[in-house]
Homo-oligomer: A and B are copies of this chain.
Amino acid sequence: MMKIALFGAGNVASHLYRAFSEGNYATVSQLFSRDPAKADFVSSETEVIADYAQLKDADLYLLAVSDDGIAEIAEKLEDRGNLVAHTSGSTGMEVLKKFQQHGVFYPLQTFSKNRELDYRTIPFCLEANSEENLEELKDLAKSISEAIYEVNSDQRRGLHLSAVFVNNFSNHLFTLGNSICKDKNLDFKILQPLIKETVSKLDVLLPADAQTGPALRNDQETIQKHLNSLTGDRKLVYKTLTDSIQKFHGKKL
C-alpha cells in the first residue's frame, strides 16, 4: 500500500481522504492540520498531527491546503527525498522545487464537505518533475478515478481560470436568475429543467453551437425590453454578456 501523509483538513483533503479510504491502493498514515479539531473525518488508522516534528516517512506528502498554505509548508517542511505534491489548480509546480521529487495532483471539481461525489468521474490533472514521479501520481489517481490527464503548470492555470467561468460565474448567473424569480414571487425550481437541459446539450454540442437567445439572433426589441426592466448590477451583467455573445458570434452591428 502506498503510504500518504495528507496535509489539510478542508474540503479537498476530506474528499481525497474518503476516496483513498474507499480503495485499497493507498492509506493515509498521518493527517497534518494546524487545527486538528477540523480533522473529524479521519478513522483511527490515521494519526492526526499539528507539528512538523511528529511527521513520519511516507511515500507521498500530499498538500491539500490553500495556496498560501502550500508556500508556508514548502518553507517549513524538510526534504526527506520522498515525493511531495500539491492539489492546487492555480499554483505552479515550481513552488515545490526545493524537494527533489515533486509534482501536482489536481482534482478538477468543486468540493463541498458533506456532499457525496462520484470520484471515478473526477478529472485528475497531473504533473511531476520526472517520468517516475508522474507514474507514481498516475497510479494513485487511477486507483480513484477513470479520468486522468497530464497537464503542465500553464495548462493547469488555464483550467483553473476556465473553471472560474464555468463554475463560479455560471453559479452567480443562477443566483441572479433566482433573485429575478424572487422579485416576481416565483419558485426558482421552475428554472431547473431549463438549467439541466442547458448542460445536457453539452454532451452532444460544443457550447458555441448550442447558443440561443436574443443576443445571438440580435433581437434588439427583446434586448431593449430586458435592459429597460433591469437596474444596477443585473443590468451591467446583462449588457456585458450580451455584448460578449455578439462579439464572439460576430453579430455586432
Contact = CB atoms under 8 A, between A and B. Distances in A.
A247 interface: yes
Contacts of A171: 198, 201, 207, 210-212
A178 B221 CA distance: 30
A92 B102 CA distance: 62
Contact size class for A? Answer: 35 or more
Contacts of A178: 162, 206-208
A247 B222 contact: no
Max chain B Cβ within 10 angstroms of own Cβ: one of A121, A151, A165: A165
A174 interface: yes
How many copies of this chain sit in the oligomeric assembly?
2
Contacts of A185: 155
Contacts of A225: 90, 157
A214 to B, nearest CB: 7
B198 A167 contact: yes
Contact of A202 (B90, B115, B174, B212): B174
Contacts of A170: 170, 173-174, 195, 198
Nearest to A172: B245
Nearest to A225: B90
A110 interface: yes
B208 A175 contact: yes
B166 A191 contact: yes
Contacts of A245: 168-169, 172
